[in-house]
Structure 1
Amino acid sequence: MDASKLPPLRGSSIDNHPNAKRQQNGITVVDGNRQGNGINQLSYPYGLYVDDDQTVYVADESNHRIVEWKWGATSGQVVAGGNGQGSGAHQLSYPTDSFDRVVPQLGSAIWKIKLTIGSIFNSMINFNDNGTVSGIIQDVNGPVKGLCYMNRESIKQTCKHRKLYRYARKLGRVIMKGETSGDVQHIIQISLDCDSDAMLITVDSKKPFCHTGNHSCFCIQTSIKANLATLAEHIKSKINDDSYTGIMQRNPQLALAKVTEEFWEVIASH
């Protein structure tokens, strides 16, 4: 392999003097056992990272894996990939200098199923006293579809199956959204707010979310009703004012005349 094409060595946050000199002759700390796919071999390594403990992480490009080599070890340990080339959650495809994308310590735990995505989220969330957290459901195209409540188990199931599971407070159990209606909501992304006490769950589903059959619980009809109710309350609050609105409310004949006037203006405009 052409050494001139290798990316620069990346290290930890250890301070190095800008004029520091390196030894020209060193020792082999990784591999040295010819090219191959064994745990003590590499195939076209492309990119290195050294952490604070002097552990070396190698992007083993042709073996589609990230390999960890501890100080003094005679063989490495696969911490990411190693399951053939691919785009699956358990695979890599020709990894190069990809350590901004694969955090070795966390990646190792996830790849070995010591940790799950759901358990990671549960450790980050500030749950309410009743053990729930609000989840805002947003369509992948932007509109908000609704709100549901999540608990630890529903978050685990949501992350595991990549479908929305919610905590049904009336039933007191976790159910999959669309379990009976078929309106399954497929998960695209999960985010937390700045206080980690609310979730934004992005879904990709053309199926309705609301139990009324509407795409969103915040449908147009609901907005109109809310706006009319607000307007009615505002008008009622002015009944004792000296404004024209207040005078009309106290004088039904004047109000009728105003409605008639507006009616004929609408007719004339068409």
Structure 2
Amino acid sequence: MQFDPKTLKFNEAGLIPAIAQDAENGDVLMMAWMNEEAVQRTLDTGRVTYWSRSRQSFWIKGESSGHVQELVDFRVDCDRDCLLVTVNQTGPACHTNRRSCFYSAVRDGEEVELMKPMV
């Protein structure tokens, strides 16, 4: 069966959340937004492409930083309203220069930093 991005459930802004996961170790790296064209560009090129809400433009992960996300697998959740992209990540995924955007945890009511920026 041919995949059709039009079958996805985009929000009122035409966006769908996409979670990036490291293909090697399963770590959750980040969450960003895609629109229908970003989904298609990702599938066509193998370079993960997001939609920047602040810049109102496409954002190919790593295009300026070199921290590229190479698509390994593209999954759609059961409700068709969230995506999981497993990737080979080059360098940090987070704009703070950390491997993952999920570097803070709340433990016993305290916020704890789990990882430092990569050098």
- What TM bracket, shorter-length normalisation? 0.7 to 0.9
Greater relative contact order (Cα 8 A, min sep 6): structure 1 or 2? 2
User: Alignment partner for residue 98 of structure 2, among 201, 209, 214?
Assistant: 214
Count of paired positions: 110
Quick one: which of 117, 121, 124 aligns to 2:7?
124
Q: What secondary structure, in the 3-state scheme, does the structure 2 residue paired with 1:213 have?
A: coil
* Structure 2 residue aligned with 1:227: 107
- TM-score computed with the length of structure 1 as normaliser: 0.39
Aligned counterpart for 1:168 among listed residues 28, 37, 52: 52
Tell me, what secondary structure is at the counterpart of 2:41? helix
* Two-structure CA RMSD over aligned residues (Å): 1.7
Aligned to 2:116: none
For residue 137 of structure 1, report the CA deviation from its aligned partner. 0.5
**Percent of aligned positions that are identical:** 32
- Cα distance between partner residues in 2 of 1:231 and 1:183: 31
Rounded to whole Å, the distance in 1 between the matches of 2:96 and 2:110 is: 25
Alignment counterpart, residue 64 of structure 2, candidates 171, 180, 188: 180
Are positions 1:142 and 2:22 aligned together? Answer: no
Give, in whole Å, the separation in 2 of the partners of 1:231 and 1:133. Answer: 31
User: What pairs up with 1:231-270 in 2 under 5 angstroms?
Assistant: 231=110
Q: Cα offset for 1:231?
A: 4.5
Paired residue type of 1:127: F
Unaligned runs of 5+ in 1: 1-102, 107-119, 233-270
The counterpart of 2:43, out of the listed 159, 168, 173, is 159
Q: Which has the higher strand share?
A: 2
**CA shift for structure 1 position 227:** 2.6
| Structure 1 counterpart of 2:80 | 196
Secondary structure (helix, strand or coil) at the match of 1:204 reads strand
1:205 Cα deviation (Å)? Answer: 1.9
SS at match of 2:89: coil
Q: Kindly report structure 1 stretches of 4+ aligned residues shifted beyond 4 Å.
A: none
The residue identity in structure 2 corresponding to 1:227 is: R
| Secondary structure at 1:142 match in 2 | coil
> Over alpha carbons, which structure has the higher Rg?
1
Give unpaired runs (5+ residues) of structure 2.
112-119
